[in-house]
């Protein structure tokens, strides 16, 4: 059974509730693996590494290893880690790099074998049905031509950094592609595990299906 934590984005104050839930689920005797590659060309990896420590050190996670090159990695390489944190940035670049290195298949196998994964923003969106939910804010400077995500959240696409002003864009997306959407504000995340899908945070998530919009309250299960 999968064990995925997905955040709508934001700073460490906004994600604190889902961060704490994630920390409770992982083995503190193993290091956390951090993959910041979606930030390539936007923020230096050294700054990314400082940031991830600022988020998780106060929560008791101090041993963090960062990978910025995913070439020639294997499932066996992941066994020493408690979990994987995939950070935000450009979603097209992230998915393209995962595919080009073959790490997408390793990540899916890890997830299928109950490996714990946390995706923030772009790192969350790739676990949805389709990543074109970011086309309003992320430029596609890659050769990516197909936009299917890993499809781990009940056939929903994921919309991060959600604000009510996005409603028309989301409805156009649903109408154009036929995929339902879970929209996450920056204070909100979802957990997908054997108990189903649960919302965590100080604000609700929203489900867009056909022409309808539904409120998905924190601690409510789907």
**Band of the pLDDT at 41, cuts 50, 70, 90?**
confident
For residue 123, pLDDT over 70 is answered with yes
The parent domain of residue 7 ranges over 3-216
Within-domain flag for 13: yes
The CATH number linked to 15 is 3.40.50.880
Average of pLDDT values for 117-137? 97
pLDDT at 11: 84
Q: How many domains does the chain have?
A: 1
Q: Indicate if the pLDDT at residue 1 is higher than 80.
A: no
Percent of the chain with pLDDT over 70: 98
Token pair recorded at residue 146: 């197909």
What are the structure tokens assigned to 201, written together?
Answer: 């945070």
Is 151 contained in some domain? Answer: yes
115 pLDDT band, cuts 50/70/90, is very high
222 in a structural domain: no
3-class secondary-structure state, position 24: helix
Q: Does residue 9 belong to any structural domain of this protein?
A: yes
Check: CB of residue 59 under 8 Å from CB of residue 85.
no
Per-residue pLDDT of 75-111, as tens digits, reads 999 999 999 999 999 999 999 999 999 999 999 999 9
pLDDT in tens, 165-217: 999 999 999 999 999 999 999 999 999 988 889 999 999 999 999 999 999 99
The rounded distance, in Å, linking the Cα atoms of 47 and 186 is 21
- Half-sphere exposure (CA, 13 Å, Cβ side) for 177? 21
- Residue 31 in any domain: the answer is yes
2 — pLDDT class (breaks 50, 70, 90): confident
Task: Give this prediction's pTM.
Answer: 0.95
Q: How far is it, in rounded angstroms, from Cα 139 to Cα 74?
A: 30
Does 221 reside within a domain?
no
Cβ-contact 55, 87 below 8 angstroms = no
Confidence of residue 143 (pLDDT cuts 50, 70, 90): confident
Q: If pLDDT is split at 50, 70 and 90, which confidence band does 18 have?
A: very high
> For residue 118, what is the DSSP state?
E
User: What pLDDT sits at residue 222?
Assistant: 59
């Amino acid at each position: 059974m999968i064990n995925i934590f997905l955040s709508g984005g934001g700073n460490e104050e906004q994600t604190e509730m889902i961060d704490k839930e994630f920390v409770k689920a992982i083995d503190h005797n193993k290091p956390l693996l951090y993959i910041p590659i979606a930030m390539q060309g936007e923020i230096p990896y050294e700054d990314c590494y400082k940031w991830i420590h600022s988020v998780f050190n106060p929560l008791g996670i101090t041993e963090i290893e960062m990978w910025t090159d995913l070439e020639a990695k294997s499932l066996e390489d992941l066994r020493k880690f408690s979990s994987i944190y995939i950070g935000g940035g450009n979603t097209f670049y992230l998915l393209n790099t995962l595919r080009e290195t073959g790490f997408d298949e390793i990540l899916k196998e890890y997830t299928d074998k109950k490996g714990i994964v946390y995706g923030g923003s772009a790192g969350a969106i790739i676990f949805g049905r389709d990543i074109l939910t970011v086309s309003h804010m992320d430029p596609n400077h890659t050769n990516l031509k197909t936009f299917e995500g890993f499809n781990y959240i009940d056939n929903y696409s994921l919309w991060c950094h959600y604000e009510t002003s996005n409603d028309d864009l989301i409805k156009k997306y649903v109408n154009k592609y036929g995929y339902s959407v879970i929209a996450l504000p920056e204070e909100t995340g979802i957990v997908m595990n054997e108990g189903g899908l649960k919302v965590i945070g100080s604000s609700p998530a929203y489900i867009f299906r056909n022409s309808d919009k539904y409120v998905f309250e924190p601690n409510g299960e789907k």
